[in-house]
Structures are given as structure tokens and as C-alpha cells.
Amino acid sequence: MTSPRLSDDDLRELRRLDELCGLRRHDEALPGLAALVERNPAHGVSVFLYTKALRVTGGARLAGEVLARAARLSPGDPHVGLGLAWAARDAGDHARAVALSRPALEVASLRGEALAIGAREREVAGAPEQARALYLESYEALPMLDVLAACERLSGIEPASGGSPAPWPIGFVMRAWLFRALELELVARSRARFGDLPADRALTAGCDHGAALTARWADRAGVDRVSLYRALSDRGGFCDCEVVLNASREDDDEGSVLLVTGRVEGAIPARLAEDFFDEGTPAAPVLAESPKADRDRETTRAQAFLAQQTAAGRAIAPQLALDVLVADLAISCGALPRTTLVVVAPDRLDAALVPAAELVVMEGGRVVTSPLTRPPQQELVAALPWIGPALASLDAVLPERAIEPVAARHELGDERAARLLAVGDERGVLLTLDQPHAPALAVPASLVRSSDGTQSAWLVASRTRRDLFLEDRSRGTWRRLLTGRFGGRLAFDHDGRSLFAVLDGSVVSIDLASGARSVLVKGDDFALSPDAEWLAVERAGRLALVERCGRMHGSAFEGRMPRWSPREGRLAFLARPAASSSRARAQVHVLERGAAGPRRIGPTVEEACWPSFADDGRSLVFQARVARRQSALEGDKVRIDDSERLFLVALEADEPPRVLHATEGGTLRISSPLAHPHLPIVAFRTDDDPIAGQRRSGQRLSIVDIAGGSPPRTWIERPHTPIAWLT
């Protein structure tokens, strides 16, 4: 029996509540779900979502009553049956749970949970291999962390500890192959269903919320799926599209690879020669560059290496290439003769690590990679005598990564002028108001300056840690101070003798002369007050005010993204309203020193983000989503359109909030606004033309004058994100 249809209003409400439950905000969703089920007691989806939220929040008894009533009204509904199956499983009646869940196996959105119930029954019955197979199938239908944990338990895999992501079970070439293969399949599936869509929407439209494509790739590559799923999930890659959108961005390496040398043993098919090889030199084909060569970051030392190499006697000449090209070769390896490559990831070369190299063998439709040691194994050199000289040439020219100090000390210019540090095109870019097309500089986003402008500090990421560098700008010297698991936030003390940072899950003070560290308090992030006497420390979504000695004042309270005003004693942060029944998510709050508690700032919006102080701390700028509209697409997909505003709110005057910029449609078309603390300007990233109001592809960096009242102007037609004003 099928469930009755919901009204349009109830359907919109169901989607909103489902989204809340997906964010594990079941308490917030419960009142709305109760009202929805009261109006529609026979609607299986609503009943299932409501009773699931009840189970999570300790209302199992009420959930059983609601399910029993729904079963009488809608007998045979698979959603109701699955809800009853969960109740039976919780009661320990696993055989009945399996019987009740069988109809749900035929519903794509329910299949994963139904399989998990069957897996638990097999595990209790003492059939671990069958249980593991069912858990694995369940995760691939609907990725859930508890199911993945069961897979690890039955596979004898110890869970990762220490808060760090699980190590990759595959090398960087295999990861490039995985990400590229999934991207192509998702886009092809999206195009078949919906025609041509923008790139970001095509990936999600082609995904069925499962990991079937990832599973298919793992089988082809001969990779253990459980270990792969753990590494991907720890980087935000659960379903197939999230593997591409999240895990690939959280990868330990990115960008280009260096093909040291290689061999192709046989004729190259014409279509592959046209796509990947230079047909003009068939005796020594060279892997061609991608049309997206703007991603290729050729460093000076890499260019020097290439200049010393020749293609003589090699089937593939040494060169820099995008990892996507090596991935495309792997995808097409079934049409290639035996191909052997020596590949190095330049991003993984640094002074403390031997250059990371992999041997890649493509043959018979399979790709096998293995790390290359220094010196290479004797049996490998005997089998492939050309590898030894190739690695020797590499080590002679690239013994370590060339980590250069921030070159911006010559480009910053007049200290009284406004300078904006922005990140885009996978590089740091230092921009000026007078020269919006200034040349790109390799400036890490973590760059901070001391108050007197004589010192700079920044982080450089490697595979498993980050290096903290310190520059004495007056002398033009720089040095690596420490290496460790830094969280990314840095701040100089007021005297310039120490540096605050997040290291190994704690906020620490680092003496710049000796490198000695003092742990102040546990925390994931922090903001340092202008007088360097107070820290607003964020940990697990809560804030605490901590003196520099480490003593906490008062109790921790809900909040994130803390920002201090240039004036003393004023802290802005994001937090949900106190009323848990409110539909609003994060709102901007301000805590004044000496006040009884924080106060909410500006109008009530659906969600606010990126607060920053302007006008010497007398005003606050933030982005807000003021409305969200959802419309159904084919295949259970939903299109989301937001109405967004860039607000300016006066903190010391009774004035209505000002809208600096507004957009309609799409999502995150206003992002990362950053107000200058003293000058009346705000930089932000936008996905439309703020003057013409016309939607364009790509994003741009815009500037708005908050004093003159003029509309925003496009500053640079490239996707740059403002990071910090250097004043």
C-alpha cells in the first residue's frame, strides 16, 4: 500500500525537517515532525522520520506507539515496516526485524538500512563473514559511520586514533585515478538524466547518495574497500559525489605530478596518441599538457630539473603534468600496451622528506603502484635498469622541496596603504586596491604579521604535518621554527616575542627565541584580543574566554567563528538562538566585556556566517541566508535556491541594518566577506556581477564602499577568497 500524498506545504516542511535530522539536530526537528505526523498519520515517510528521531532522543516507547498506529492505517508500507524492524532489532528480536525489513530492500532509499538490519542478525547468529558482506553492501547503498565501524570490527581493522584522518591505503596516483574516474562517471550519469548542468551541480545530480561507483573502482583497482572507505569518510567522502567534492580537496597532495621517466612497450592506439601523446615524435612520445594548464604549478627547481633531462632513449620524457592526465591514462589503460612510469608529486617534496616517488605499471587493464625507495630495490633495478639513473638525476636536482620565504616583503609597499591577502587558483595572491591584477605570489593563507610589522609567520603543509616558518622582515631572514600538527590559526603576542597557535588539539604559546611551547588550554580554534590578554577558545562548537595564563572565566557557551573587535572588549561569534524550537540556525551574537551575556545582532535570518568588524569596531558585517526555496527535480533530486544578503549593522547607534549587496537564486553567491577594520571597505567573493546583476559562470572578488553607499564593484574576475587585511 502506498502512502497518501502530502500537501505542498507539508512536503516543503518534510524536506526541511529531513535536512535537520541529516545534521543530527533531532531535538530541533521533533516538534515539527510531531505536528506533521499528527496531520498525516498514515504517511509512511513522515512516520519513519519521526520515529527515527524519537529513537535517537530516547523516545523509543512513543515511537512504537506511532508505528503501530501507522501500520494499521498503511499496512505493507515499506517505511513503516522498516521503522517496526528497527524497533524489533532494538528489542533483540533480530529474526522478526529481518522479516519486517524485507519490503524496504526494494526501495533504493531504504535498502542500506534494511541491509544493516540483516547484517546485525547474521552477526548475532555467529556468521561474521556473511555479516561483513552485508554491512559492506549496506554502507555502499547508504554510507553510515556505525555501519563502517561494524565493517572495520569484522575485518580486524583498528580504528584510527589521535583525531587524525585514517592513512590512505592507496598512493597519490591511485587517488588521482579514483577521483577522476568518479568525476567522469557522475557527469555522464547526470548528463543522461538531466542534460548539461553546471559542473558543481552535475556531480551531485549524478549521485544516488550511495558509494556504488567507489565500490566498483575499488574492485577494479584491487583495493580493500573497508580501508578505503575509512580514509575517504575521514575526509568527508561518504557517497560518490562527496568523494570527488570533499575527499579530493582534503587529500594530502594536490595539483601537479612530475613524470621522471617511463616506457611504453608497444604501439600506442591512435586515439590515445591524439589525446595524450605528441604525435610529432613517435619514437619518444611526450605526455601532452591539459588544456587546464593554468593549474600546473611549475616551480623554478622543477623547471631546472626538466631542463637537464632529455627524451633520448625514453618512451616518455620527463615533464610536469597534471595528475588528471595520469588519471586519464589509468582510466584508458585497457587500450594501452604495458606502460611503466616513475611519478613524483612535487607538493610532497620538503627538506625533511625524501622525494616521494611511485612506480606505476599499467598492463592488461589494471594499474599497480608501489613506492620507490632510495636507493631503489636491487631486484627492481635489475628488471628495469633505466630506473636507477632516472632517480639519481632526480635526487641530484630535487633533493628537497624548495621552501622559499614569503616573497611579499618587497611587494607589500607602503605600510599605511591597504593590502588584501586573498587565496585563489590554488595559490596565495597578494592584491592591492590600486593593482588588482598584481602577479601571483606563493603566500600561505596562514600568514600573520606582528603589530610593528617587523615579523611574519606562516605555515607550510606537508603530508602529515605543518611547518611553522618565521621571518625577520627587518633583516630579510627567515627560518623554520617548529614542525607539528598545527591547526592553522596563528597570532603574534603584543610584544612580538611569542606566537599563539593551535598545536595537537591545544592552544599553545610558542617562544620565538627558543621554540619552547606552553600549553594554555584545549581547543580547536581561537581568537586573540587586540591587547593579547584574552583568548576566545573554540572547542567542539563551544566558546570559552581564557586569560593568557590559561585561566578560564565563566562557563563555556555555544558559539563558533570568534572574532575580536579592533576595540578592546567586544567579541563577535555565531550561535543558534536560545530557543531550541526556532527554525533559525546560526545567528550573529556580540559579547561586550562586563555585560551579563551576549546579545543577538541584526535581523533574524535563516543562517548567518562570516562576521567581521568594520569602522574601528563600531559596526559588524556578515553574510546571511534570508530565505531558502527547494524545488523537486527528476530522480529524487532537489534544487536549492537561496536569497542572500550582505548586512552592515551599527553596534553603537540605533540604526536599521543596511544591505550592502543582495542575491537571489543559487547558493553561496555571497561568501567570505571581510571588512577592513579601519577603512570603510568590505571585500567578498560573489558568484554574480553585482553591477549588472547577471549570472555568470565562475566567481569573482568584489569590493563595496560602506561609506559612500555605491553598489559593489567587481575587483578581479577570478575566484579569489579574501583571507586578511594587512594594514
Q: Is residue 25 part of a domain?
A: yes
> What pLDDT does residue 299 have?
34
Please enumerate in sequence order all residues whose Cβ is within 8 A of that of 65, keeping only pairs 6 or more positions apart, or say none: none
Q: How far apart are CA 493 and CA 365, in angstroms?
A: 57
> What pLDDT does residue 538 have?
92
| Number of helical H runs and strand E runs in the chain | 19, 32
Q: Is residue 79 part of a domain?
A: yes
267 plus 356 within the same structural domain: yes
Contact by Cβ (8 Å): 612, 673: yes
Side-chain-side CA neighbours of residue 595 (13 Å)? 11
| Whether the predicted pLDDT of 301 surpasses 60 | no
Domain boundary among 346, 377, 397: 397
347 plus 371 within the same structural domain: yes
| Whether the predicted pLDDT of 351 surpasses 70 | no
Q: How far apart are CA 560 and CA 550, in angstroms?
A: 19
- pLDDT tens digit string along 524-538? 899 999 888 889 999
Domain boundary among 155, 185, 203: 155
User: Which residues does residue 33 pair with via DSSP β-bridges, in sequence order?
Assistant: none
- pLDDT tens digit string along 499-517? 999 998 899 999 988 888 8
197 plus 121 within the same structural domain: no
188 plus 295 within the same structural domain: no
The grid cell for 161 is 586514533
- Pick the more confident residue, 692 or 710: 710
Q: Is residue 474 part of a domain?
A: no
151 plus 240 within the same structural domain: no
Q: With DSSP H G I counted as helix, E B as strand and the rest as coil, what are the percentages for the chain, rounded to 5?
A: 35, 30, 35
Range scoring the smallest mean pLDDT among 130-139, 559-568, 630-639? 630-639
Q: How far apart are CA 258 and CA 343, in angstroms?
A: 6
| Whether the predicted pLDDT of 15 surpasses 60 | yes
In three state form, how does the secondary structure of 591-604 look?
Answer: EECCCCCCEECCCC
C-alpha closest to that of 342 among 324, 365, 315:
315
> What pLDDT does residue 608 have?
94
207 plus 141 within the same structural domain: no
130 plus 12 within the same structural domain: yes
> What pLDDT does residue 324 have?
66
Mean pLDDT of all residues in 254-279: 57
> What pLDDT does residue 311 have?
31
Query: Whole-prediction pTM value?
Result: 0.54
Q: Is residue 338 part of a domain?
A: yes
41 plus 147 within the same structural domain: yes
> What pLDDT does residue 555 have?
80
| Whether the predicted pLDDT of 205 surpasses 50 | yes
The grid cell for 268 is 600506442
* Residue that the C-alpha cell 615524435 belongs to: 281
- pLDDT tens digit string along 233-250? 988 899 999 998 888 876
- pLDDT tens digit string along 456-493? 888 876 655 777 888 887 776 777 788 888 887 899 99
Q: Is residue 610 part of a domain?
A: no
Mean pLDDT of all residues in 176-197: 88
Q: How far apart are CA 252 and CA 175, in angstroms?
A: 10
CATH of the domain at 21: 1.25.40.10
- Pick the more confident residue, 28 or 579: 28
The mean pLDDT value of the chain amounts to 78
Helix (H/G/I), strand (E/B), else coil: 517: strand
- Pick the more confident residue, 17 or 387: 17
* Number of structural domains the chain divides into: 3
Contact by Cβ (8 Å): 425, 418: no
| Secondary structure E strands in 656-712 | 658-664, 670-675, 681-688, 695-705
Q: How far apart are CA 144 and CA 436, in angstroms?
A: 46
Contact by Cβ (8 Å): 677, 727: yes
Residue 537, number of CB atoms within 10 A of its CB:
25
314 plus 243 within the same structural domain: no
289 plus 330 within the same structural domain: yes
Instruction: Give the whole-number percent of the chain exceeding pLDDT 70.
Output: 76
- Pick the more confident residue, 549 or 149: 149
Q: Is residue 715 part of a domain?
A: no
144 plus 102 within the same structural domain: yes
66, containing H or E segment: helix 60-73
- DSSP letter assigned to residue 549: T
C-alpha closest to that of 80 among 48, 119, 52:
48
187 plus 229 within the same structural domain: yes
Domain boundary among 202, 217, 247: 247
> What pLDDT does residue 436 have?
57
Residue type at 62? L
Domain holding 136, by residue range, is: 8-155
| Whether the predicted pLDDT of 382 surpasses 60 | yes
| Whether the predicted pLDDT of 400 surpasses 50 | no
Q: Is residue 560 part of a domain?
A: no
Q: Is residue 176 part of a domain?
A: yes
